[in-house]
Amino acid sequence: MNKRWLITGTGSGLGRALAEAALARGDTVAAIQRGGDDLPGTTTWRCDVRDTAAVNEAVSATGEIDVLVANAGYGLIGGVEETSDAEWREQFEVNFFSVMSLLRAALPGMRRRRSGHIIAISSVSGLVGWPSLGPYSASKFALEGALETLALEVAPLGIAVTLIEPGGLRTDFSTRSRRQSARIITDYDDTVGQSRRLLAEHAGGESGDPAKAAHAILAVADHPEPPLRLLLGEDALLYTEGKLASQRAEIEAWRKVTLEIGF
């Protein structure tokens, strides 16, 4: 069945690949993007996702939305102490609060129809923390918590929610869409600095294919029982399984203390 999509961040990267894949199979795509060329075959609104009025207009004009994809975002590189309040707030405005505004615009129509699928592009960094990615990771952790809760709230209304958690994808996210903190503290060179250097070295050589990631998202959108979370990439699986094993070991090591606080 032909689906009507609204996708943010279609100017490049995964958003662009997803829009192209959906169009190629005959779906209808509406797009919200700030830069990049218009994708032929789409209805495109050019605006910043933080512009709530413009986003609301795009959602209203799109009409019935079968699949809403919140994809727009960027990554801020910097240690927790290195990054300013203003840098943290801007990271959250784009990666978290703009998504909340988008959802609030689209959900009334989905509730009326008792159908729809909300897909948010999170990250393995929404599950696992690394030095230098504190603000970015925090914005994705917040997205994970909000949408996990939303999934419970909208499931009885026939609406599905999925968090997509890619590892490294070979897009310009690691170059054009990555920003550096204005401040660098030399005491963090072995942690934040090392991570910053590794990210720069691997930029453009990521193992994930955005076109294949797009087709994985199409499969999720078509599934009658889509997952709440979908990891994409061998690196995402490796890091997440490592964290879960470490977390389980820590829970067991401290189980006695955990249980001692009861009356």
Active-site amino acid positions: 122, 136, 140
Reduced to 3 states (helix: H, G, I; strand: E, B; else coil), residue 77 is strand
Distance of alpha carbon 114 from alpha carbon 100, whole angstroms: 20
Helix axes 52-62, 98-113, angle to 10 degrees: 30
E-strand stretches of 11-153: 28-33, 43-46, 67-70, 75-77, 116-121
E-strand stretches of 67-188: 67-70, 75-77, 116-121, 159-166, 178-180
Residue 69 tokens read as 């994809």
As beta bridge partners, residue 165 has: 231
Strands 178-180, 43-46: pairing kind:
unpaired
DSSP H or E segment with residue 261 = none
List b or e across 116-143, with b for residues whose CB sees 16 or more CB atoms inside 10 angstroms: bbbbbbbbbbbbbebbbbbbbbbbbbbb
Contact call for residues 116 and 106 (beta carbons, < 8 A): yes
Distance of alpha carbon 94 from alpha carbon 96, whole angstroms: 6
Q: What single letter denotes the amino acid at residue 22? A: A
DSSP for residue 184: -
